[in-house]
Structure 1
Amino acid sequence: MEALYTAEALATGAGRNGRVATSEGRLELNLAVPAEMGGSGDGANPEQLFAAGYAACFHSALQSVARAQKVSIADSSVGARVQIGANGTGGYGLAVQLEVVIPDLPHDQAQALADAAHQVCPYSNATRGNIDVAITVSED
């Protein structure tokens, strides 16, 4: 693969209770283990960052597919939920639920756009076969 862009980030401190920053300084966050996992919940966590990245990337793919098909999806949105849990073999795994909202578009057409976006989205391509990703298309 020929890289079009490279993002760099550095995690320091105590992992999930540390800090993360990108090399150019646009993103700098304190991290904390979620309260649901026994932590303070006073900072961001990797699952939130993954959810934000996947939602933005999938929405971009959705818009690209819609443009190519000359379909207007101006009021669309994509929400992402990322879950973490024990994988049964001593480690942890992730699962993702994406909710695609395209108001005023017939459900079948919205579903077709979401399915096409899932084929071109870099996050979808990276996770395919590795984690469960469920996509739901809603009208609102």
Structure 2
Amino acid sequence: MPRHEFHLTAEWNGGRNGEGKISAGHLNTQISIPEEMDGPGIGTNPDEMLIGAAATCYIITLAAMIERKGIPLSSLSLKTVGGVREDRGLKFESITHKPVVVLDAAATEEQVKYVEGAAERAEQTCMISNALRGNVRLEVEATVTVAR
């Protein structure tokens, strides 16, 4: 079975409120602690990157599921919310995906029902979600409509 490896390099300047940069494939960006956590807010941060990984995995998985069934898709968008709780330290508590799927006017009621279920299954089969499951609450609040 093939094994895939992904590599990241990082540089950091300063202490807690320092800043750095990371590079991994097509990802090249500055990093720091976010302003919401009393950091400098330069570039991205681990919280954004975690929800970014979860969101991109989820939307790609959902799009592939829809495509495999040959369902006519008009548009697919996503908002993802990550929740961090402060309680004797910080804990990444939840990730909620809020996809909005608009199917082409030719979509059948059966296809709409499939996509509603696929929105839930995509989270359950996504590699990143599976890596987080048990440590972070994962939820989906999908909206599926048909273009008129």
Task: Give TM-score, length-normalised by structure 2.
Answer: 0.76
How far has the Cα of 1:70 moved from its partner?
2.3
CA 1:72 to 1:6, structure 2 compared with 1: closer, same or farther past 3 Å?
farther
Distance 1:139 1:112, change over 3 A: closer
Q: Tell me the distance in 1 between the aligned counterparts of 2:117 and 2:30.
A: 39
8 Å CA contact 2:18–2:32 kept in 1: the answer is: yes
Partner of 1:51, secondary structure, is helix
Q: Which runs of 5+ in 2 are unaligned?
A: none
RMSD (Å) for aligned C-alpha atoms: 2.5
2:30 corresponds to: 30
Once the two structures are superposed, the pairs formed by residues 82-97 of structure 1 within 5 Å of their partners are 82-86=82-86, 88=87, 90-94=88-92, 95-97=94-96
Q: Does 1:58 align with 2:58?
A: yes
Matches within 5 A, 1:1-140: 2-3=2-3, 5-13=4-12, 14=15, 17-24=18-25, 26-86=26-86, 88=87, 90-94=88-92, 95-104=94-103, 108-139=113-144
Query: CA-to-partner distance for each residue in 1:92-124, whole Å, 9 max, x for gaps?
Result: 221211111101476644320111212221111
Number of aligned residue pairs: give it: 136
Identity %: 20
Whichever structure has more strand as a proportion of its residues is: 2
Runs of 4+ displaced beyond 6 Å: none
Contact 1:32 1:41 in 2 (8 A): yes
Larger Rg: 1 or 2? 2
Kept after mapping to 2: 8 A contact 1:78/1:98: yes
Partners of 1:63 and 1:9 in 2: CA distance: 27
Distance 1:85 1:110 in 2: 32
Taking structure 1 as reference, are residues 138 and 17 closer, same or farther at Cα in structure 2, changes over 3 Å only? farther
Q: Give the 3-state SS of the residue equivalent to 1:75 in structure 2.
A: strand
**Deviation at 1:83?**
2.4
Q: How far apart, in 2, do the equivalents of 1:34 and 1:126 lie?
A: 24
CA distance in 1, matches of 2:22, 2:56: 19
Q: Is the Cα–Cα contact under 8 Å of residues 9 and 22 in structure 1 kept in the other structure?
A: yes
Summarize the Cα distance change of 1:23–1:77 in structure 2 as closer, same or farther, 3 Å threshold: closer
